[in-house]
Chains A and B, each alone.
Chain A
Amino acid sequence: MPPNTQQGRPPKQAEDSAVQPTQTEATRLAYVLMVGSTVRLLAFVIFPSLISTYLSGRVELSTPVTSYKRLVEGLHLSAHAVSPYDGGVFHQSPLLLLLFKPLYYLPSIFTDLLYTVADAFVALMLAKLAALKANSASQVSFLGETRFVCMPSVVAMLYLFNPLTLGTTLVKSTIVFSHLAVVGSLYFGLQGRTNRAVACAAVAAHLSLYPAMLIAPISLMADGCQRRCGSIVATVAKFTMAVGLLHVLFVAMFGSEYFGATIDFTVRVADLQPNVGLFWYFFTEVFDEFRLFYFVVFQLTALGFAVPVSWRFRQDPLFAATFLVGIISALKSYPAWGDLALFLGLLPLFEELLKYLQFMFLSANLLIYGIALAPVFWYLWIEQGSGNANFFYAATLVYVFGQITLLFDLGTAKLRRDLDIQRPEMRTRTVIQE
């Protein structure tokens, strides 16, 4: 649905009247979406050569599991009756093959349109999440708190005009569709539509493996919604069934080798192309005897925090989901700047935690240094040959450490705020964790 029909549809509201007039907010949201889409379409149409020269080859933006060039290669192979999963460079989900098959025969403007619309939808869902959260019953504040309510249009704007998001869309990285599924599942989960949420989560799990962790907060959302939308066990069972159904469908269509080429490939970090994560250099340098041990350790650390985090923040499953999105962004096997863009897009929903963040300057600096230096060091290593891999590795270390600091800070802020709400008399006291 093109964004300019948004004018007739205000964001979803509860029955009680909102603080700000809904019509103005809807208009602002529509403007933001229109401008964001226009910027992207213009960039696609006017600067294709600039994009392909400077952006498309960037390893920080596209990874072996999200690269558009590899997707076209997979489409080309399947159009010529060669299995795209039998070796080769294509390691993306069959869902994307099916989605892009008709677009392969159409002119490229349709692909550009698809990416623009997908991005606009992600921003729209984020805005609706913000509106939902602002009006939900779990929104409490304590006396004397000055709150700057983050308006839906601001959330959408912060996501759409984030340079990381823009870069990810312009290189046509397929992580955009995973983001769409993730945000869709959170939105439906918060609304109480568990079945749709589970379907979106299953799609996201097939597109990139790690959003499978989000079933934990989604099942908590289902459990906690007023109408008892579904128990935790039932939600997890539905999710497992949906994932299994998709798996059976893909095996029937593409053969069982699709699993080894996509999900198994992500888990065992088979392609050592550098990216902005920790894994690539680690698995380049580690000796072969320890490879299995270390990839089990890394994947467990990335995936094992789903249940503990969801349990700790069970009163606010949306926050648990944001935290997990942050963990995914820092620790997935092929991260890119696009994953950070989703995390940064979900952060404005929790602007009440802004004043509790202690290490804002540190994490912002670490992230900016990591993002700014990575392309420079890549150029020195690969193009010019005067640097070496350690430069780029150092930049990625800084970037991941910045994300971890932000995550940790966010969690502490949330716990502190919960304590302040629970025991308002402690607000001015120093507390420590024990």
Chain B
Amino acid sequence: SKSGIGMLLNPHRLYNMHFHSMSVSLDSVPDPAGSGKPVLRYRQLLSVVLDPLAFGLRNSSWSLSELMDRRLGAACPVASRSTIRVVAPDVGLHITPKPDSASKVAGHLVHTFDMQKRNVEDIAFTFEPDAGSAHKSTLPAVAAYRYVTGHGGSSGGVESSIVNRHAVPITVKYLDTLPWYLRVYSHTLVISSVPEGAPSVVLRPTRAIFTPAIDRGRPSSMELELELPPNSRTILRYDFDKGFLRYTEHPPDANRGFNIAPAVVSYNLSTADSTDDQPLFCTANAALLQKSKECTVHVYTELFLASLPTPDFSMPYNVVSISCTILALFFGRVFNLLTRDFVVLNKEQAHQ
């Protein structure tokens, strides 16, 4: 039996969506209990964009049970906190039943239902006729793209571009990890920034940590702290060489290639600023945790496929036997050369 958020997760509805993203993150944070020691924090996040029209509901009024085809139940007994937070525009939305509390965060109104205090079975939303156009979405402050350059199967390059849409400089941390078989040349890293309407300047990272890969051991990682100029596009570029894997290390469909994990660009947002481009989770978190005024936003680039040159998989026996034949030819000939003496062919000479 399920309780808490698990009751709402209906795959038939969730996967009939416009967008979804699942993430698991593990990081080390200062102990929220205040003991001063760092603790590991494990987070699971599921982001889904659902359209009520896809399920035959009217846009102006629908309820959570109609959308998800599930009713809410009791809060999870092992949870220390179980809440439903609704980020809503200031006016134009009626929520039934009435939420427990409402707080204003950065220009949005956040309504909170505390599931541990009361048992809510269903939440209904009704929009006033002219309220739909109130909320406009703006692009986030930082966007990041990454793609692979170069041609051929022996080497290539990675080019990342980070866009700062704000009129103020933003400090971002760029983390890029590449598996060991893409051998990164850190000396080829070039960072340049193109502010709007100005020529490009070379940007130097304020901090840089590069950990080279160990073959079949660890991936290489590059962490840079960059100060992005306002209204600019920053381009990072570096080269890599493609490694050659052993016969057994190639995946079953070897010519597909390997998915290379995206790079992560993180920056801190202060939730006190009432900017339109604050991500929803920042707003929702700020309503709950009154003490943290900062929210870390992670922007993920695209991943790319690296196709490594493959050996011929049908030939292990042939290769071993042919190479050993050449080696045996060498050994046999040189061994004969070293150990045998010359004898004249003419038999009469031997008798004399």
Contacts and interface: CB of A to CB of B under 8 A. Distances in A.
Contacts of B53: none
DSSP majority for the A interface?
helix
A22 B217 CA distance: 60
A94 B152 CA distance: 32
Contacts of A412: 337
Given A301-B331, A408-B334, A284 B344 contact: no
Interface in B325-348: 326-327, 329-331, 333-334, 336-338, 340-346
A281 B323 contact: yes
B212 A89 contact: yes
Interface size class, chain B:
35 or more
A349 to B, nearest CB: 19
B296 to A, nearest CB: 27
A284 B244 contact: yes
Contacts of A282: 319-320, 323
B254 to A, nearest CB: 12
Contacts of A12: none
B248 interface: yes
Contacts of A75: 187
Interface residues of A, number: 65
Contact of A383 (B151, B310, B327, B342): B151
Interface stretch (A41-49, A368-376, A426-434): A426-434
Nearest to B154: A382
B19 interface: no
A407 B228 CA distance: 62
B343 A431 contact: yes
B48 interface: no
A77 B212 contact: yes
Interface string B202-236: 00000010111111011010000000000000000
B330 A404 contact: yes
A72 B246 contact: no
Contacts of B315: 285, 390
A298 to B, nearest CB: 7
B316 A286 contact: yes
Given A285-B315, A382-B309, A383-B151, A89 B241 contact: yes
Most buried by A among B248, B315, B323: B323
Given A87-B213, A285-B316, A431 B342 contact: yes
B185 to A, nearest CB: 5
A80 interface: yes
Interface string B228-263: 000000000000010111111000000000000000
A353 to B, nearest CB: 14
Interface in A9-57: 57
A274 B345 CA distance: 45
A161 interface: no
A363 to B, nearest CB: 12
B79 interface: no
Given A382-B153, A385-B153, A433-B343, A278 B323 contact: yes
A69 B185 contact: yes
Contact of B322 (A76, A86, A397, A430): A397
B44 interface: no
Nearest to A401: B326
B330 A301 contact: yes
A281 B311 contact: yes
A381 B309 contact: yes
A309 B343 contact: no
A415 interface: yes
Interface string B274-313: 0000000000000000000000000000000000011110
Most buried by A among B244, B247, B333, B342: B342
Contact of B210 (A69, A82, A382): A82
Contact of A88 (B152, B213, B243, B341): B213
B83 interface: no
Contacts of A283: 246
Contact of B342 (A273, A280, A401, A432): A432
Given A270-B215, A390-B312, A411 B334 contact: yes
A401 B329 contact: yes
A283 to B, nearest CB: 7
Nearest to B316: A285
7 contacts: A87-B215, A274-B244, A298-B327, A331-B330, A432-B342, A433-B337, A433-B342
Given A284-B244, A431-B344, 14 more contacts: A87-B217, A286-B247, A286-B319, A287-B247, A287-B316, A312-B337, A312-B338, A397-B322, A401-B329, A411-B334, A419-B342, A433-B336, A434-B341, A434-B342
A-B interface, 3 closest residue pairs, ranked by CB to CB distance from nearest: A88-B212, A87-B214, A76-B187
